[in-house]
Amino acid sequence: MTTCSNLFNHFNPIIMKLPAGLIDNSVEVFKHNGVLKAATNGSIINYLELHPVLREPFQAELLGEPLTIECLRTEFKLLQADEMEEQFVDCRYAGAFDHVPDLKEGKLLPDSPMCNKLKTCKGFGTVCKAPKGPNGALSRHEYMIALKEGEGKQDKEIAHECSIEITTVRTHLSRIRNKLCINNRIEIGFWIQSKGIL
């Protein structure tokens, strides 16, 4: 006879992780109703209201990338420091509201690009960056095809949605596998999920 306590031992409970910043002093940046927000120490505030010490790592990263600053000036038409910082953090860190913090113990952990302007954004590869694989970063087209692959789409569907030939899709998939050092489509999907993209 099986008792309730025996049944309980046979099941692994699902442990749901809370988004970062809600129960610790890490920082999780996200967008809500078009406004850049930050979760830290159990509070959610506008990003620009974060304590200066918590904004400093983001600012230091931006200041260390002159090409990103130039892109924000010329392509995004931003001139004010706070505007540039906010756009930079939005593009690079506000991708997913998840349990992986964007800032923890002074270390920044960028999110993967997920915005709806990915196809045409002039800041791709500069302001926002696709995660690098062991053999290099994915190009914009490779990244977009990897996203569609992660959604479970077939080559024909991807070709139609991207307005390219099936052979071009397959060439991109080959390059993606090479850059990420993976062997097949399933592993592309696992890589996408591991980066919190979908």
24-63 pLDDT per residue, tens: 789 999 999 999 999 998 889 999 999 999 999 999 999 9
Percent above pLDDT 90 for the chain? 62
32 within domain boundaries: yes
Output the CA torsion sign for 68, 71, 77, 79: positive
pLDDT of 1 > 60? The answer is: no
Establish if 3 belongs to a structural domain. Answer: no
Rounded to an integer, the average pLDDT of 177-191 is 91
- State residue 58's pLDDT score: 97
State the pLDDT at residue 37: 95
Same domain, residue pair 136 and 93:
no
Cα of first residue to Cα of last residue in the chain, in angstroms, is: 43
Q: Mean pLDDT, the chain, as a whole number?
A: 86
Element holding 39 (H helix, E strand): strand 35-40
DSSP state of 119: T
Predicted pLDDT at 119: 86
H-helix or E-strand spanning residue 38: strand 35-40
Within-domain flag for 117 = no
Helices (H), 65-118: 66-74, 81-93
Residue with the bigger pLDDT between 52 and 10: it is 52
Q: Count of domains in the chain?
A: 2
pLDDT given at position 169: 95
Kindly state whether residues 136 and 97 are assigned to the same domain.
Answer: no
What tens digit of pLDDT does each residue of 74-83 get? 999 999 999 9
Question: Pseudo-torsion of CA 168, 172, 177, 179, nearest 10°?
Answer: 150
pLDDT tier at 9, thresholds 50, 70, 90: very low
Whether 100 maps to a domain, the answer reads yes
CATH number at residue 144: 1.10.10.10
The residue segments making up the domain with residue 189 are 132-194
Percent of the chain with pLDDT over 70: 90
Q: What is the DSSP string of 151-188?
A: TT--HHHHHHHHT--HHHHHHHHHHHHHHHT--SHHHH
Report yes or no: 161 and 172 within 8 Å, Cβ to Cβ. no
100 and 138 both lie in a single domain: no
Residue 189, pLDDT > 50, answer: yes
Mean pLDDT of 99-126: 87
Which of these three, 84, 104, 124, is where a domain ends?
A: 104
CB 166 within 8 A of CB 123: no
Backbone angles phi, psi at 46, to 5 degrees: -65, 145
State both tokens at 58.
């983001």
In the 8-state DSSP scheme, what is residue 48? G
Q: Is the pLDDT of residue 8 over 50?
A: no
Please state, in angstroms and rounded to a whole number, the distance separating the CA atoms of residues 78 and 91: 14
pLDDT of res. 71: 97
Predicted pLDDT of residue 20: 76
What integer is the mean pLDDT of 102-122? 87
Backbone angles phi, psi at 188, to 5 degrees: -65, -45
pLDDT at site 17: 64
- pLDDT bracket for residue 22 (50, 70, 90): confident
The secondary structure of the chain in percent helix, strand, coil, rounded to multiples of 5, reads 45, 15, 40
